[in-house]
Amino acid sequence: MTVGFKLGSITDEVGTSQFLHAFFSTISGNLEPNGWGTRFPVLLNKLYQGELEQTDAAVALAELDRIEMELRKLPPSKVIWDIENLQLAPPWGSDISSDTTSLASYFVTSTGRDLISVLREILEELRDVGGVVSVVSY
């Protein structure tokens, strides 16, 4: 099943639900030593749970900036496919593009776009225009 971020009538495709879970697992497992959502509560506790409102957009963007900066310092080998089962590996194993030099560039949507960039664009739109961003399955 494919998931995406929906704001208004626009849905930005991400990929499988497992892929989105891996993105958030990688963030929490590498950057939140005190557990899920302890450093990045808006993105990991609100958006990941399904919705984010305009009032949270500015904080979410600040969290995303911090996440991207910190993921740039970590090699792709630090990816966490499933925080509940650290033994799971991505379906492609370690066969990744040579362009992937850190965890900040590791996650590319099923449409070929950088996931952090997609998320930043939708959060900026949410901040500027309003509404609610939802995680949708289709």
- Read off the pLDDT of residues 23-34 as tens digits, 9 standing for 90 and up: 999 999 999 999
Q: By percentage, how much of the chain surpasses pLDDT 90?
A: 93
Residue at 131: amino acid letter = G
The closest alpha carbon to 53, from 130, 121, 135, 137, belongs to 130
Can you give the pLDDT at residue 134? 98
Q: Is residue 15 very low, low, confident or very high in pLDDT (cuts 50, 70, 90)?
A: very high
> Would you say the pTM of this structure is higher than 0.85?
yes
Between the alpha carbon of residue 49 and those of residues 22, 37, 39, 42, 134, the distances in Å are 14, 11, 16, 10, 9
Q: How far apart are CA 86 and CA 39, in angstroms?
A: 20
Residue at 89: amino acid letter = A
Q: How far apart are CA 4 and CA 104, in angstroms?
A: 19
